Amino acid sequence: MCGIVGYIGDRNSQTILLDGLKKLEYRGYDSAGVAVFTSNGLEVKKAKGRLAVLESRLQEDPLNGSVGIGHTRWATHGKPSDVNSHPHTDNAMKFSVVHNGIIENYLSLKEELIGKGHRFVSETDTEVISHLIAELYDGDIVRTVQKAVQRLRGAYALGVITEYEPDKLVAVRQASPLIIGVGQGENFIGSDIPAVLAYTRDIYILNDGEMAVLTRDDVELMTLEGDIISRELFYVDWDIATAEKGGYDHFMLKEIHEQPKAYRDTMGSRINADGSKILLDEIRMTEDQIRSIRNIHVVACGTAYHAGLVGKSVIERLARVAVEADVASEYRYRSPIITKDTLVVVVSQSGETADTLAALREAKRQGARVLAITNVVGSSVAREADDVIITWAGPEIAVASTKAYTSQLIAFYLFGLYLAEVLGTIEAEDLRKTIAALQELPEQVENILQQSAKMESFAKQIAAHNSLFFIGRGLDFAIAQEGSLKLKEISYIHSEAYAAGELKHGTLALIEEGVPVIALATQEELLEKTLSNIKEVKARGAYVIGVGLEGNEELSEFVDAAIYLPRTLSLLTPALSVIPLQLLAYYTSLARGNDVDKPRNLAKSVTVE
């Protein structure tokens, strides 16, 4: 979710680059930089922190030139720092690159380039691209970029300039968004439309496997093989606020729809090419240390805690290690039994959650090894943990977490499989089967998102009620808790989640005529029992919306309305079943006239106890 801006024309590029980067601040970032052709050649200025830091440096020492590229970085490889900021260059400062995405094979490319005499100064995957282009340059930057990207594996949107051909700006898209702005005597690139709206509303939207060559007076679109593409310009009639949300009405809805990409990015290079092995190179635990783990504590707050409940089941089922899940604010005060053989897994979207940080520090004080699952490279949690799994969800703007939560689920699946592989608790064929099912999840989520209209119609019925219940068994109960939280935090409807088997133990007293009940029934081994529980609430007058898997259409016989999900392994259903619940919460909040992105009394990151 970094921000790319590029300009070629006759105006001062520094001003335009900074302005474009400011328009992309909503995407989130931890550092920023620009590269500009000046009378002294290619010059780069970059800085950790807010754009104001970079702007201050440029005011003191401006870069005067009419061609340049700029970038706001959300760290994935290497902590936030001046040197890790983009743009990156080769050693001779003749080529400069900005990049969004992840280069999965950067380590092998880096080793190859070091062997040819290239010196690397950053910890990033992106720097490899600038050195690779310099190594391959044959006098034609377009042909060279085409050759370079053939060597790259992963996701990338690129902006490339070279001092050897200062009249060109080359842009490439592969699985990461990039647009081209067309002006009069000037042209632009951006990772999002808001970056260029102040200057033009005529846009080309690049597709995967396409590139653009920009000069002051022309834009040429082509495939990565060099075949010319003819395409009509898209005229943008949105305002800036709408453009920032990618055409969606709210950031929350945009982030719900970004989940297939977040799934793919979080899996990324962590699955080997033939889908037979999990690669968690960022975990420094040796196999002997993993085998010495006797118990695991998962510690988190709110939505991250709900991800931890799924993680508990995943690890126990796959790796056969005992797991406890704790709310971070309670963890220290129950005097948890921690030994040197305890692994503590802390989960925090921001990496700055105060209670989670306090739990991490207490666990380390008592001698435990700590693994962090977080969305922010360089955060306090990431720095202080012994091992880190970064969830590459990109920044979340909406207070109610969606893609950060589901990316945490993916991280737990990867970690659970990794442990099982090391501990020998999973057969090779079962591992391959589970990995294959994991890789199908992004497309399955896309299919669920196509049912949005159904969720909207259900939401209109729910919105009139002041109380609502979620029920489920096993992993469905964990998702019921997250669905209930999502609904109450943005719709303000009183909502409770119950283990369906507990209904007879008091909670049935709350069911009365017409009260909505969301019943999750995706765990096939528990389906018969769940259907029995649904009958119990129906018999007492509840209006029941069921969530089940395709092929289990008998669910419709027991509920008033049903949502069917693509079939997957029972263990993986949480990554699908939560999607309709997110949409249900969103549309219910909308129907009640609430501020979806900024619910009352809540903050995005809780940094005080």
Characterise 19 by phi-psi region: left (phi > 0), alpha (psi -120 to 50), beta (else).
alpha
604 is catalytic: yes
| C-beta of residue 439 within 8 angstroms of C-beta of residue 467 | no
Read off the DSSP letter of residue 207.
P
Contacts of 569 (CB under 8 A, 6+ apart): 433, 434, 437
The whole-angstrom separation of Cα 121 and Cα 115 is 15
Pairwise CA distance, residues 100 & 442, whole Å: 20
**Whether residue 301 lies in the annotated active site:** no
Asked if 172 contacts 156 with a C-beta cutoff of 8 angstroms, the reply is yes
Q: 320 by DSSP, 3-state: which?
A: coil
Residue 144 · residue 167 · CB < 8 Å: no
Best CA proximity match to 546, nearest among 483, 493, 494, 588: 483
Give which of 48, 73, 47, 72 is closest to 60, Cα–Cα.
Answer: 47
Beta-bridged to residue 367, according to DSSP, are none
Find, among 285, 297, 403, 394, the residue nearest to 344 by Cα: 297
Among 94, 488, 529, 604, the one annotated catalytic: 604
257 within 8 A of 447, measured Cβ to Cβ: no
What are the distances in angstroms from CA 130 to CA 75, 191, 576? Answer: 18, 19, 39
Name the catalytic one among 2, 46, 254, 454: 2
* CA pseudo-torsion sign 139, 170, 78, 407: negative
Adjacency order of strands within the sheet including 169-174? 88-89, 95-103, 154-162, 169-174, 210-214, 219-223, 228-229
Helix (H), strand (E) counts: the chain: 19, 25
- The alpha-helical segments, DSSP class H, found in 474-545 are 475-491, 527-539
Residue whose pair of structure tokens reads 């993680």 in the numeric block = 311
Q: Inter-axis angle of helices 428-449 and 574-591, to 10 degrees?
A: 20
- Could you tell me which residues come within 8 angstroms of residue 222 by beta carbon, excluding any fewer than 6 positions away? 210, 211, 212, 213, 228, 229
Instruction: Determine the Cα–Cα distance for residues 457 and 487; give it in Å rounded to an integer.
Output: 15
| Residues with a known catalytic role | 2, 604
